[in-house]
Amino acid sequence: MLGDPQIWLAFITLSLLEIVLGIDNIIFITILVQRLPAALQQRARIGGLALAMLTRLALLFSLVWLTHLMQPLFTVMGQTVSARDLVLLAGGLFLLGKSVLEIHATIEGPAAAPAVQAAPRGRGGVVGVMVQIALIDIVFSIDSVLTAIGLVRQVAVMAAAIVVAVLVMMWVSGPIGAFIARHPTIKVLALAFLLLIGVALVAEGLHFEIPKGYLYFAMAFAVGVEMLNLRVRGARAVRDSGRPP
């Protein structure tokens, strides 16, 4: 099995797919753990991703249950509604609410943040953040797991790809979080991405498909523009600091 090139090609393809589809999850995790004290952020990030990996593997090995998620539960105004639709709707609405609250706290400043949402403290706060990461990961990973099942029939290959993708997310989530924390405009941009993803999830739950490529292109374009802005502001600050009084 390990000597089959097709197996390795499928493994690499699925790993890249899981990593790309995990970008939105990394953004959510980065914003979420920033509500914790700095000493607890790494623990919540790694613990939440480890729990998310277990939920993804549980979804993968529950193939029959996943197929049942696609079965219609009831009909509303001639439109069938499945358990998957309800999960996407709930996840999208949660992301929209969370993003709006975080944007409000970020723009209004530290004085207004406690009125919006008290920062979680201690062990209970870490556990709460980990649970939120795992739950939202279920919403993000349902489609990716279903896609993986459609691409590859070997469950072991799919499980290995999920583990590799989560390990990569653990590795890059820390530097990404530190970068966002250093640049408030990037944080607002990341929250805008979460709003966009929330809208896409709600739309998908209502059977309005928004191609993922459009979303990722918009994100990449916005990030590229903001990187240019950061370089311009940095060069201007250096130039201004060198001016004689």
Q: For residue range 104-152, what is the model confidence (pLDDT) as tens digits?
A: 877 776 544 443 344 445 556 788 888 888 777 777 777 666 666 666 6
Domain count, the chain: 1
Q: Is residue 78 part of a domain?
A: yes
Q: Is residue 238 part of a domain?
A: no
Closest CA to 68 of 136, 146, 138: 146
Q: Is residue 240 part of a domain?
A: no
Whole-number Å distance between alpha carbons of 167 and 181? 22
* Predicted local distance difference test score (pLDDT) of residue 67: 64
* Predicted local distance difference test score (pLDDT) of residue 220: 81
Q: Is residue 163 part of a domain?
A: yes
Q: Is residue 202 part of a domain?
A: yes
Taking the model in full, what pTM does it have? 0.66
Task: Supply the range of the domain harboring residue 25.
Answer: 5-210
Buried b (16+ CB within 10 A) or exposed e, 103-115: bebbeeeeeebee
Q: Is residue 74 part of a domain?
A: yes
Task: With a cut of 70, list the residues of the chain below it in pLDDT.
Answer: 1-4, 21, 63-69, 109-124, 143-153, 242-245
Q: Is residue 223 part of a domain?
A: no
* Predicted local distance difference test score (pLDDT) of residue 112: 43
Three-state DSSP class for residue 244: coil
Q: Which residues pair with 72 in a beta bridge?
A: 82
* Predicted local distance difference test score (pLDDT) of residue 4: 64
Q: Is residue 140 part of a domain?
A: yes
* CA–CA distances in Å: residue 91 to residues 95, 178, 179, 215, 222: 6, 26, 26, 17, 24
Whole-number Å distance between alpha carbons of 164 and 32? 23
